[in-house]
Amino acid sequence: MAKIEWVRRIYEDGWHNAFTDFQFFKGRYYICFRNGLSHVSSEGKAVVIASDDLVDWHRAGVPVNTTGDDRDPHLVATEDRLFVYAGNVTRPDPVQHGDEGPRLIRSVCSFSEDGASWTEPQQVYRDGYWLWGVGRADDRADDLLYGLAYGNEPSEWNLKPTELHLLQSTDGLVWELVSVVTRNGSEATFRITDAGTMRVAIRGGDENRFTIAVAKPPYTDWRLQNLGESIPAPRLVVAGGREYVIGRQHVREPGGPSGQGGPSGSGGPGDKNAAGDTDAAGGSGRPDDAADPGRIVERRTSIWRVEEDGVVHVLDLPSGGDTSYVGAVQHEDGALLLSYYSQHEVETGEKHFLYPANIYLAKVRL
């Protein structure tokens, strides 16, 4: 039976801290997140904190702090380097939000060999594409890194759903296109099965669907299956031989599917934040209720089990308001360690995304 063994608040500073990722590197735990004044603000930067024991955490650096809003940092650990990837959003008018006016989106990377000293950020891949889900194929020292980048040509970002590209790299810095997974994709993570099949969890680019894409090597022929309403920031994990997706649940007023807007009646993921706020990864800037009936009344960071024809709600982490964007590391005893952000312990107003958010760590057994 799924259970939460403990939850700890590990970082708070009165700012909006959000969009986490998590890695174990050279005997130490590392968590990265965006630190800014609000969910979308021009001074956003990528911060890394570290711990030897999962209790005491200290700042290990600010590897990405460029001009513009640096968002959605992701960590990848090899034997020798710890990489931080982040999306960078710049606008002619820095006070604009969402779809207000033009913006340039790039992906940047910084790395460290000791978890303390970081290289200057450099651009990876190409303008208009957000390198989001990044990871290793397996634990071999010589294998490829894979990444999932979503976007369009810069002039087309707000005109149509974004494409999702599968990329590969041998050094973490130079990325090559492998294939187009879908022309309607957004935030996505992957895992590779023991048989070598890649499975990708995708937040729909049109905010209407949660999709699992499957391909065998060389990962160019994709089979897509829609499993319900869009899940923001889907983290695909395996525990106890079962597959799970972790992301944001949008709890809706009666009137949405099954009263909550969940895929296949499972109790609820959703799409964007309320009040037309763009989501963590820059997103399309569409309001929450553009596609789905039922007003959003609360948000949770939730876990679902992936089945053949849908997803089944398993549990909610202590969470609320602006929340989710999980990083996952397997504990030595087989449990999952999950980083995430939430506002359930801070006072917020109607525009919750303008208020502070804290970083949490949970130990969960599935």
CATH code for the domain of 119: 2.120.10.10
Residue of 228, 202, 213 whose CA lies nearest to 292: 228
pLDDT: is 279 or 113 the higher one?
Answer: 113
Residue 78's Cα: distance from chain center in Å?
20
Split at pLDDT 50, 70, 90, the class of 289 is very low
Largest Cα–Cα separation, the chain: 52
The token pair that represents 287 in the structure block? 């309001």
Read off the amino acid at residue 67.
Answer: T
**Among 93-107, 113-127, 175-189, 300-314, where is mean pLDDT lowest?**
93-107
DSSP category for residue 354: G
Average pLDDT of the chain, as a whole number: 87
Q: How many domains does the chain have?
A: 1
Task: Please report how many Cα atoms fall inside a 13 Å half-sphere around the Cα of residue 352, on the Cβ side.
Answer: 20
Cα Rg for the chain, rounded, in angstroms?
A: 18
Domain region containing 77: 3-365
> Beta-carbon neighbour count of residue 357 at 10 Å?
29
Is 25 in contact with 364 (CB distance < 8 Å)? no
Residue with tokens 């800037």: 285
Split at pLDDT 50, 70, 90, the class of 322 is very high
pLDDT at residue 82 in the model: 98
- Quick: pLDDT tens for 250-286: 888 875 443 333 443 333 322 333 222 334 334 333 3
How many whole angstroms separate alpha carbon 60 and alpha carbon 126?
A: 28
**Among 147-161, 186-200, 277-291, where is mean pLDDT lowest?**
277-291
84-116 burial code (b ≥16 CB/10 A, e <16): bbbbbbebeeeeebbeeeebebbbbbbbbeebe
Mean pLDDT for 24-44 is: 96
Read off the amino acid at residue 21.
Answer: D
